[in-house]
Chains A and B, each alone.
Chain A
Amino acid sequence: MVVADDLFKALADPTRRIILDELTEKSGQTLFEICSRLSMKHQLGISRQAISQHLATLEAAGLVETRREGRYKFHDLNTAPLRHIVQRWLTPDPSEPEESTS
């Protein structure tokens, strides 16, 4: 399971939340499409390298998955880690181990 810290860190950034919004609209996008959406729809002047970094952070948190199809690489949304957040506070599972604060 993905460490909760990675998940919350990934969600803390507004640009990464916009990327998730765009992947919610359509999963399975190339880096080029994600860059186009951020610049054209959201007027965000972010470099392709910076967007790659954001995608890597989202991938590390389990929110984005990548797949290769031939020469092309596509990014898919994976909302499964979010379910864990909902269950943690809205439907607590008594068997859930407590988070270490050390």
Chain B
Amino acid sequence: MKIRLTSIFVNDQAKALHFYTDILGFVKKHDVPVGEQDRWLTVVSSDEPGGAELLLEPAGHPAVKPYRDALAKDGIPLAQFAVDDVQAEYERLRGLGVRFTQEPLEMGAISTAVFDDTCGNLIQIASQSQ
């Protein structure tokens, strides 16, 4: 068994594509119309174009909002991405106007930070401490 795809709910797929590519730096992999408005929309890391895909999934199901609101209130991230240096990435993203709910925090072997993806989710970035 292999993990080829994981998904995250997004409020608006067009806005999500902008954020995940132009701001975070992922690359669009698949963009296929599904139904009337929805798209099968995935992005991959520019470092690993053949790696796992992240599906930016429409958040239309009524269960999504209460689920995400409850997690957001407590600051719980819905996905984690690996970066080389959390502090550097924090500064880069802050410069692009990204809002963080947790500033870089070094905890033993790893550093983490948490930001708002503007599509309804909190995302954690993590790096191994130098």
Q: Is the CB of A40 within 8 A of B69?
A: no
Q: Which residues of B contact A71 (CB under 8 A)?
A: 69, 72-73
Q: Counting CB contacts under 8 A, is B74 at the interface?
A: yes
A48 to B76, CA, bound (A): 11
Tell me which residues from 67 to 94 in chain A have a Cβ below 8 Å from any Cβ of chain B. Answer: 71-74
A26 to B102, CA, bound (A): 10
Q: Is the CB of B75 within 8 A of A30?
A: yes
Residue positions of B touching A, CB distance < 8 A: 69, 72-77, 101-103, 105, 107-108, 110, 112, 114, 122
Q: Which residues of B contact A41 (CB under 8 A)?
A: 107-108
Q: Counting CB contacts under 8 A, is A54 at the interface?
A: no
A80 to chain B, nearest CB (A): 25
Q: Counting CB contacts under 8 A, is A23 at the interface?
A: no
1/0 per position for A6-22, CB-CB distance to B under 8 A?
A: 00000000000000000
Q: Is the CB of B72 within 8 A of A33?
A: no
Tell me which residues from 29 to 49 in chain A have a Cβ below 8 Å from any Cβ of chain B. Answer: 29-33, 36-37, 40-41, 48
Given contacts A71-B69, A72-B101, contact A30 B74 (CB under 8 A): yes
Q: Is the CB of A72 within 8 A of B75?
A: yes
A87 to chain B, nearest CB (A): 34
Q: Which residues of A contact B102 (CB under 8 A)?
A: 29-30, 32-33, 36
Q: Is the CB of B101 within 8 A of A30?
A: yes
Q: Which residues of B contact A48 (CB under 8 A)?
A: 74
Q: Which of B69, B76, B102 has the most CB of A within 10 A?
A: B102
A46 to B101, CA, bound (A): 22
Given contacts A32-B114, A33-B114, contact A26 B103 (CB under 8 A): yes
Q: Is the CB of A73 within 8 A of B105?
A: no
Q: Could you say which of B69, B75, B103 contacts A32, with CB atoms under 8 Å apart? A: B75
A29 to B101, CA, bound (A): 8
Q: Which residues of A contact B110 (CB under 8 A)?
A: 40
